[in-house]
Amino acid sequence: MDSEVGTATSIERTFQYDDDLPSLPVPKLEDTLKKYLDSVKPLTTDEEYKETERIVGEFGQGIGQELHKKLLERARARKNWLEEWWRDRVYLTSRTPLGVSSMYGANRTMESFWPPCVGSNIERAAISTWYMLRYFEELRRENIPVERSKTGKMTFSMDQARHMFNGSRIPGAEADKLINFFKTEREGSCPNHLIVSCNGHLFRVDPFDSRGKLVSSREFARQLQNVKDRSTTKRGQCMSTLTADERSRYAENQKHLKSLHPVNEQHIKTINTAIVMLALDDSTPSTYTELVQAAMSGRNVHNHWLDKSVLLICNKNGSLSCISDHAPFDAMICVEMIYWGYVKLEKTGGVWPDSDCEVRGDLAQPQELVFVTDSAIEAAIVTAEETHYRMVDNVDILCSYFLNLGKDWCKQYRIHPDFLCQLAIQLAYYRMYGRPAATYETATTRQFNHGRTETCRSCSSESLAWCKAMMDPNATRAEQVELFKAAYIKHFESMSDAMQNKGCDRHLLGLYFISDEMGIPPPEIFLDPGFVKSGGGGNFVLSTSLSGYKPCLGMVPPMCQDGYFFSYRILTDKIEFAVVTYKNSSETDNHAIFKHVTQSLIQIRDITMQTASKL
């Protein structure tokens, strides 16, 4: 949604359509297998492709039919046949520490009304979080408008928005679980406190008064100042660090922590039920690369209770970022909340939103959460910290702009900006490595009941043919343009199908899960090298996502060791990219590939502007 989130009409409530949205469909087996083979072809040799084609044919005529039949039975019994699998088996069974599996976002206030300024963090944390609390109130009242597709023809599920607030992740020995205490006002009351961390201390802060009214932003600032004053002289217990460990080990440590004293379990409950967590960090980033790097690998893990669904960060110099768990919701859900507050801040220039400067003396004082610990917990904190920094220090992030291309230029030449970026990334990779890469692009399926995402496999035979032509000195400009048009049409078709849940990845994943639940060995289609080469099993070399057109850029680490993650944000006259790699990869270089991306964008601009016809 490209317009400001405002106030819903009196006849349309935020969640009113969720139960009436169509069930998530199951594609036809033959359609899925054809799409899968199409995606494998540009990434394999002729010999490899023939073998994959044989395997897929046997699967489609054999065990695949039985698995598909059982998947259809599952779909008839559920409105969303994928939802539980996606949450539980894709996310919650992972034992990977959350520091390298969470979503990281940078709020763009630094480039507009809040340049970095040491000493501004209490004021800016108070104002920005106060607007977030206003959003929380509006969501509880169901006044946040229902999101729709750009054309307005598709109504999107708002269910994921429920899981931003009052939620947390509970560690388990073999699998985690999600808990959530959010309720709309029509559904009843829900917790309305925050957790604020500072210098390793944890505090419960109550930003609503005894009548349930949100305190003023200045009053809230007084509460935050109280937290800071009580935290600066001595480092706290750093209990948040425990949440950054390997998940099974953390589950054991939390179990032990609860056994030490009943107060520990109560404190954990207080944290889990809080609206969100706000961390007052000590970092002083001055660029967006530094801002995201500080959220991920800055020395602030003692302030980050990573189990919380949303963790807001205000640094020492007033710069803002956030961390969110990927299991309960997708990135764009959090982007909408951040954008809502950003618009309010922009309208006021970032100054205090309250005309009343009076601060009441009877405000609830922040309550510090002091745990009962022992030597085992203290040792576990050290281990968790070492584990966390060993992993996040391996992640390299680059945020940068490409100027003179943006929404206006794309509109003039009738090129969708998402396609522009996708082709530029693919050409950059081809130019750098001399081969194509399996490419994942996120496609929303929120028009279905509790829909999340499907994969748009954007590396196609058509896009590869265009990349080759762009690198061929003998190719004519006319040939390059025609191949560009063919790639454009193919990408549009692939994205449209994916948004209808007619890609191949979610369907194949469902068939794999069915085979696993039947207790049979994985069918050959999932063991074929062509499956891995095309990105199957989480092996996409390029994982990409359009962050939209709003002032928030999000990112996650790459899917595979020698891969890249790209996110991009489209502005009026420029495009912002985030490129993420692993430092210990001998294959990747985010600075080098971004240079190739800029060269690719220049080439696309030139061939487009030099031809009279428009796409």
Give the separation between CA 450 and CA 421, rounded to whole angstroms: 28
The contacts of residue 394 (CB under 8 Å, 6+ apart) are: 582, 583, 584
Q: What spatial distance separates the first Cα and last Cα of the chain, rounded to whole Å?
A: 24
Q: Which of 371, 393, 415 is the last residue of a domain?
A: 393
155-169 mean pLDDT: 98
Nearest to 233 by CA among 204, 202, 200, 203: 200
Catalytically active residues are: 326
465-489 mean pLDDT: 96
- CATH number of the domain residue 259 falls in: 3.30.559.70
237 touches 370 (CB < 8 A): yes
Based on the domain organization, do 405 and 462 belong to the same domain?
yes
Q: Could you read off the pLDDT of 359-370 as tens digits, one per residue? A: 776 788 999 999
pLDDT > 70: what percent of the chain?
Answer: 97
Segment among 429-443, 468-482, 492-506, 540-554 with least mean pLDDT: 540-554
Name the amino acid, one letter, at 116.
Answer: P
pTM for this model (two decimals): 0.94
| Collapsed DSSP state (helix, strand, coil) of residue 19 | helix
The structural domain count of the chain equals 2
270-285 mean pLDDT: 98
Residue 146, domain extent: 103-393
* Residue 412 falls inside a structural domain: yes
> Does residue 265 register a pLDDT over 50?
yes
> Does residue 7 register a pLDDT over 50?
no
Based on the domain organization, do 273 and 389 belong to the same domain?
yes
Q: Could you read off the pLDDT of 60-102 as tens digits, one per residue? A: 999 999 999 999 999 999 999 999 999 999 999 999 999 999 9
What mean pLDDT, rounded, does the chain reach?
95
Is residue 412 packed enough to be buried (19+ CB in 10 Å), middle (13-18) or exposed (0-12)? exposed
> Does residue 9 register a pLDDT over 90?
no
Based on the domain organization, do 154 and 39 belong to the same domain?
no
* Residue 172 falls inside a structural domain: yes
Q: Could you read off the pLDDT of 180-209 as tens digits, one per residue? A: 999 999 999 999 999 999 999 999 999 999
Based on the domain organization, do 251 and 335 belong to the same domain?
yes
Rg (CA), the chain: 25
312 touches 322 (CB < 8 A): yes
Q: What pLDDT is attached to residue 364?
A: 86
123-152 mean pLDDT: 96
> Does residue 459 register a pLDDT over 80?
yes
* Residue 95 falls inside a structural domain: no
Based on the domain organization, do 524 and 599 belong to the same domain?
yes
Based on the domain organization, do 369 and 305 belong to the same domain?
yes
Q: What pLDDT is attached to residue 108?
A: 81
Give the separation between CA 224 and CA 478, rounded to whole angstroms: 62
> Does residue 8 register a pLDDT over 50?
no
The contacts of residue 196 (CB under 8 Å, 6+ apart) are: 202, 203, 205, 223, 224, 227, 277, 278, 279, 280, 366
Nearest to 247 by CA among 177, 144, 181: 177
Based on the domain organization, do 427 and 386 belong to the same domain?
no
Q: Which of 346, 365, 393 is the last residue of a domain?
A: 393
Q: Across the beta sheet with 453-457, what order do the strands follow?
A: 395-403, 574-582, 564-570, 542-548, 439-444, 453-457
Q: What pLDDT is attached to residue 82?
A: 99
* Residue 142 falls inside a structural domain: yes
| Collapsed DSSP state (helix, strand, coil) of residue 148 | strand
Q: What pLDDT is attached to residue 356?
A: 58
Based on the domain organization, do 455 and 536 belong to the same domain?
yes
**Token pair for residue 589?**
């270089």
* Residue 13 falls inside a structural domain: no
pLDDT band at 357 (very low <50, low <70, confident <90, very high): low
Nearest to 217 by CA among 129, 138, 278, 276: 129
SS3 content of the chain, % helix, strand, coil (to 5): 45, 15, 40
> Does residue 218 register a pLDDT over 80?
yes
Cβ-based neighbour number of residue 365 at 10 Å: 15
Give the separation between CA 385 and CA 382, rounded to whole angstroms: 5
* Residue 146 falls inside a structural domain: yes
Segment among 16-25, 108-117, 424-433, 581-590 with least mean pLDDT: 108-117
- CATH number of the domain residue 461 falls in: 3.30.559.10
Based on the domain organization, do 169 and 193 belong to the same domain?
yes
> Does residue 608 register a pLDDT over 80?
yes
Based on the domain organization, do 129 and 261 belong to the same domain?
yes
> Does residue 304 register a pLDDT over 90?
yes
| Collapsed DSSP state (helix, strand, coil) of residue 113 | coil
* Residue 563 falls inside a structural domain: yes
Q: What pLDDT is attached to residue 355?
A: 66
Cβ-based neighbour number of residue 573 at 10 Å: 12
* Residue 162 falls inside a structural domain: yes
**Token pair for residue 31?**
């359609």
269-273 mean pLDDT: 99
Q: What pLDDT is attached to residue 388?
A: 97
**Token pair for residue 500?**
């209808």
Q: Could you read off the pLDDT of 404-439 as tens digits, one per residue? A: 899 999 999 999 999 999 999 999 999 999 999 999
Spell out the long-range contacts of 251-254 with Cβ–Cβ below 8 A and sequence spacing 24 or more: 251/171, 251/172, 251/173, 251/176, 252/173, 253/376, 253/377, 253/380, 253/384, 254/171
Q: Could you read off the pLDDT of 12-70 as tens digits, one per residue? A: 999 999 999 999 999 999 999 999 999 999 999 999 999 999 999 999 999 999 999 99
Based on the domain organization, do 245 and 174 belong to the same domain?
yes
Q: Which of 367, 393, 419 is the last residue of a domain?
A: 393
| Per-residue b or e along 448-459, where b marks 16 or more CB atoms closer than 10 Å to that residue's CB | bbbbbbbbbbbb
Q: Which residue has the tokens 């602030």?
A: 300
Based on the domain organization, do 402 and 358 belong to the same domain?
no
Pairing mode of beta strands 103-107, 201-205: unpaired
**Token pair for residue 587?**
């294959």
pLDDT band at 550 (very low <50, low <70, confident <90, very high): confident
